[in-house]
Amino acid sequence: MVPRQVPPPLHYTGHLLRRAQQVHQAAWNRDVSTQTTSVQFAALSVLSNRPGSSQAELGAELDLDRSTIADLVRRMQARGLVSREGDPRDGRRKVLTLTPAGEEMLEQLRPRVESLEPVLTGGLDDSEAAQLRRLLERVLQDAARRGLVQGH
């Protein structure tokens, strides 16, 4: 009996995505921040564009579940980056806004995050980098369609 040939791990998309995430994390820690995570940066960006978003709205935008977004907001609030206040029109709703420290952090990090893009797409020309982003967006859209992630 001939043993079944098992493909190497690099054959599998999941393994490649995990490795790509490791590259992203290492580059983020080296070039952007060891104090502020990429998810926190994304939250700051969303709140900058949509001040007064609820915690639930922020969680939906970032595709984070309730407990994860609650922990994220708690940590950012403890660092003085966001404020969380009751909505005067709806006592059950909590609205989030960037504090001056949060706005400053976002402005400090934005150029570093933008400079990270060529690090992550090294070896690709502009067209290939754009194609990679489009393909990843399609993968995520399909995952949302199948209920694997929230999606937008």
> Strand 53-54 vs strand 90-98: parallel, antiparallel, or unpaired?
antiparallel
Class at the top of the CATH hierarchy for domain 33-116: mainly alpha
Beta strands in 75-131 (DSSP E): 82-87, 90-98
Helix, strand, coil content of the chain in percent (nearest 5): 65, 10, 25
Q: What is the pLDDT of residues 74-125, one digit of tens each?
A: 999 999 999 999 888 888 888 999 999 999 999 999 999 999 999 999 899 9
For residue 1, the model assigns a pLDDT of: 66
For residue 6, the model assigns a pLDDT of: 65
For residue 91, the model assigns a pLDDT of: 80
Of 4-8, 42-46, 64-68, 69-73, the range with the lowest mean pLDDT is 4-8
Q: What is the mean pLDDT of the chain?
A: 92
Contact 58, 95 (CB under 8 A): no
Q: Where are the domains of the chain?
A: 33-116
Query: 13-31 and 100-120 helices cross at what angle (nearest 10)?
Result: 130
